[in-house]
Amino acid sequence: MGKLAFVFPGQASQYSGMGKALCEKYSVAASIFKKANNVLPFSISDLCFNGPEEELKLTEKTQPAILTVSVAAYRVLENMGIKPDYVAGHSLGEYSAVVAAGGIKFDDAVLIVHKRGKFMQEAVNVGVGSMAALLGGNLEDIKKMCEEVRGSHVLMMANINCPGQVVISGHKEAVDMAIANAPKIGVKKAVILPVSAPFHCDLMKPAQEKLKVELNRINIKDLKIPLVANYDAEVTISSEEVREKLIKQVSSPVLWQDCVERLIAEGVNVFVEVGPKKVLSGMIKKIDRSVKIYHVETPEEVEEFAKIYKELKRG
């Protein structure tokens, strides 16, 4: 076996019912939900297990919900003696990764991401911003097109996810203009994303400033497991770098493809997506088909990966 990386999902991976079976089977998972319920001004277990979907889609609730499910699944694996060589997370998922690596206490993280969601929502009035996924097309061409069509508006590449998948973010008029121009540069499909704010662009600067105050208030420790950060796809361990990159990440592009390629360059050949759904697994497959990819969220997936892990360690 080469090296093992745990990767943690971001927003849009939520669904009603997530984490329920995990809590029923494992007390260590249930204790994470209990901690979140005690810290937050609402019941995260009730929201995750029962929905409704509409409430689960509210950014300030989505973020702590996904973090709680992801950390609960991680604690189950950790309890079984399964630990990764590296961690990474997509946007919000980076907080799950930092908790897993021992950088931030879960109680602090779940409250921070609840506030992060609030700040991101408040930064831009509903309807002012937009995000769209561009499928196909060349990275440099997309970047150039964004520069050409934005005029006085904000328009940026927000997520560089995998070959053929870039998400743009900014003022609605600029995003609409980019969608209209996209076929000219070889983009096969452009899809407006059902999000409540334009994340990872300069319009998030007010949210970044508020988040900075909150992150400066909490204790962040040096990581026990190296993190490959969204902001620059560099291996990060020091507490101050972690803090700085979590702050900058709010208004900067998520360099997910670069993160995965960096992990592979570091010797990672086994990826485990820890948390709801399999969004990252699909992206990783498009980046490099030769790596092994697993998913862990349900008790069945936990047991299955525990067996696979033993085999990998032997092999």
Same domain, 112 and 247: yes
Mean of the pLDDT values across residues 233-256?
A: 98
Same domain, 276 and 213: yes
pLDDT at 314: 86
pLDDT at 194: 82
DSSP 183: G
Mean of the pLDDT values across residues 244-261?
A: 98
Give dist(CA 60, CA 57) in Å, integer: 9
Domain that holds residue 170: 129-192
**Do 188 and 137 contact (CB within 8 A), yes or no?**
yes
- CA torsion angle 149 151 152 154 (round to 10): 20
Reading the block at residue 311, the tokens are 């085999």
Same domain, 116 and 170: no
Q: Has residue 32 been placed in a domain?
A: yes
Q: Has residue 197 been placed in a domain?
A: no
Same domain, 72 and 17: yes
Same domain, 63 and 15: yes
Reading the block at residue 35, the tokens are 């901690």
* More reliable by pLDDT, 190 or 315: 190
List beta partners, residue 192: 132
Q: How would residue 157 be classed by pLDDT, with cut points 50, 70 and 90?
A: very high
Give this prediction's pTM: 0.97
Same domain, 250 and 161: no
Same domain, 84 and 232: yes
- What pLDDT digit, counting tens, does each position of 116-156 carry? 999 999 999 989 999 999 999 999 999 999 999 999 999 99
CATH number where 173 lies: 3.30.70.250
Q: Has residue 54 been placed in a domain?
A: yes
Q: Which residues contact 281 (CB under 8 A, 6 or more apart)?
A: 271, 273, 293, 294, 295
DSSP 184: G
Identify whether 91 is a catalytic site residue. yes
Mean pLDDT of the chain: 97
Same domain, 161 and 180: yes
Same domain, 257 and 294: yes
Q: Has residue 283 been placed in a domain?
A: yes
pLDDT at 1: 77
Residue 269's φ and ψ, nearest 5 degrees, are: -130, 0
Residue from 13, 45, 91, 252 carrying the catalytic annotation = 91
- CA torsion angle 281 283 289 290 (round to 10): -60
- What pLDDT digit, counting tens, does each position of 71-104 carry? 999 999 999 999 999 999 999 999 999 999 999 9
pLDDT at 40: 98
CB atoms within 10 A of CB 289: 8
Give dist(CA 14, CA 7) in Å, integer: 16
The structural domain count of the chain equals 2
Last residue of a domain, one of 168, 192, 216: 192
Same domain, 206 and 89: yes
Reading the block at residue 74, the tokens are 């991680």
Mean of the pLDDT values across residues 272-292?
A: 98
Same domain, 169 and 109: no
Last residue of a domain, one of 172, 192, 212: 192
- What pLDDT digit, counting tens, does each position of 99-113 carry? 999 999 999 999 999
Residue from 169, 200, 252, 295 carrying the catalytic annotation = 200
Q: How would residue 33 be classed by pLDDT, with cut points 50, 70 and 90?
A: very high
Identify whether 16 is a catalytic site residue. no
Same domain, 103 and 218: yes
- What pLDDT digit, counting tens, does each position of 177-235 carry? 999 999 999 999 999 998 889 999 999 999 999 999 999 999 999 999 999 999 999 99
b/e map 24-56, b = 16+ CB within 10 Å: eebebbbebbebbbebbeeebbebbbebeeeeb
